Amino acid sequence: MSKVNLHLGIDFGTSFTKVCVRDVVQSFSWLVAFGQGQSCEENMLSSQIGIMSNGQVLAGLTTEEWKQQKEKEPKIKKIDFIKMRLIEVPIDQKLGDSDICKLAAYYLSRVIWRSKSWIKENSGEFFEGEGVDWSAQICVPVQYCDSPIIQVFQKVFDVAWLLSEDLELGSGIPPSDNLSDLTSKIGSLEPAVKALTSSKRSCSAVPEVTAVIFSSGSNVGENITAVFDIGSGTIEGASCHKRADSSKKNTLKYYAAKVEWLGVEAIAAEVAQNLRTVTNESVKKMLFQHSSNLSESLELVAQSLLRPLSAGESVISQYRQKDGALKLSQEAIEQRLSEKSISKEEEKVYLKLLLAIGNINRLVGSVIAQKVKPKEPDSEVYRARLNSASSLDILICGGGSQIEFYKDAILSTYTAFNHNRTVIPKYSLNYLPVPKKDELSMSGVDRKYYYRFNVAYGLSDPDLDKMLESKLPSQPSGEHVRYSNPMTGPLPLMDDD
Asked if pLDDT for residue 220 goes beyond 70, the answer is no
- Establish if 478 belongs to a structural domain: no
Whether the per-residue pLDDT at 21 is higher than 70: the answer is: yes
Cα distances from 196 to residues 121, 232, 470, in angstroms, run 30, 33, 22
Asked whether residue 348 falls in the same domain as residue 265, the answer is yes
Number of CB atoms found within 10 A of residue 392's CB: 20
Mean pLDDT of 241-269: 84
Residue type, 55: G
pLDDT in the model for residue 159: 93
Do 202 and 287 fall into the same domain? Answer: no
Query: Mean pLDDT score of the chain, rounded to an integer?
Result: 84
Examine the domain organization and report whether 105 and 194 are in the same domain. Answer: yes
The beta-strand segments (E) located in 32-88 are 45-46, 49-51, 56-59, 77-79
pLDDT band at 431 (very low <50, low <70, confident <90, very high): confident
Instruction: Return left, alpha or beta for 444; rule: phi > 0 is left, psi -120 to 50 is alpha, else beta.
Output: left
Q: Provide the residue range defining the domain that includes 409.
A: 220-431
Question: What confidence score (pLDDT) does residue 494 get?
Answer: 43
| pLDDT level of residue 315 (50, 70, 90 thresholds) | low
Say if residue 225 is in the same domain as residue 267: yes
Confidence tier at 469 by pLDDT (50, 70, 90): confident
Looking at residue 278, its pLDDT comes to 94
User: Which of 431, 460, 484 is the last residue before a domain boundary?
Assistant: 431
Is residue 366 domain-shared with residue 240, that is, in the same domain? yes
Same domain, 191 and 333: no
- pLDDT range class, residue 90, cuts 50, 70, 90: confident
Query: Which pLDDT belongs to residue 309?
Result: 53
What pLDDT score was predicted for residue 198? 72
492 or 393: which carries more pLDDT confidence? 393
Tell me the residue length of the chain: 497
Residues 324, 419 within the same domain = yes
Q: Is residue 294 part of a domain?
A: yes
Q: Indicate the residue among 415, 431, 447 that finishes a domain.
A: 431
Q: Note whether 249 and 188 are same-domain residues.
A: no
Give the whole-angstrom CA distance, residue 257 versus residue 227.
9
Confidence at 308, pLDDT banded by 50, 70, 90? low
Q: Is the pLDDT of residue 99 over 80?
A: yes
Q: Are 422 and 444 in the same domain?
A: no
Output the pLDDT for position 432: 86
122 in a domain, yes or no?
Answer: yes
In the predicted structure, residue 156 carries a pLDDT above the cut 60: yes
Q: Is residue 485 over pLDDT 50?
A: no
How far apart CA 143 and CA 256 sit, in angstroms, is 8
Return the higher-pLDDT residue of 145 and 322.
Answer: 145
Quote the pLDDT of residue 93.
Answer: 73
Say what the pLDDT of residue 360 is. 95
Tally of domains in the chain: 2
- Residue 194 placed within a domain: yes
In a domain, 488, yes or no: no
User: Tell me, what CATH number does 55's domain have?
Assistant: 3.30.420
Judged by phi (left if over 0) then psi (alpha if -120 to 50, else beta), residue 136 lies in beta
Is 60 exceeded by the pLDDT of residue 312? no
pLDDT (0 to 100) of residue 442? 95
Is residue 385 located within the same domain as residue 332?
yes
The yes-or-no verdict on residue 267 having pLDDT over 90 is yes
Question: Is 476 inside any structural domain?
Answer: no
* Rounded average pLDDT over 439-450: 93
Whether residue 126 lies inside any domain: the answer is yes
Distance CA 235, CA 237 (A): 6
Decide if pLDDT at 486 tops 50. Answer: no
Whole-number pLDDT of residue 304: 78
pLDDT of residue 394: 95
- Residue 303: the pLDDT is 79
Q: Is the pLDDT of residue 218 over 80?
A: no
Are 70 and 203 in the same domain?
Answer: yes
* Predicted pLDDT of residue 245: 64
Residues 188 and 333 in one domain: no
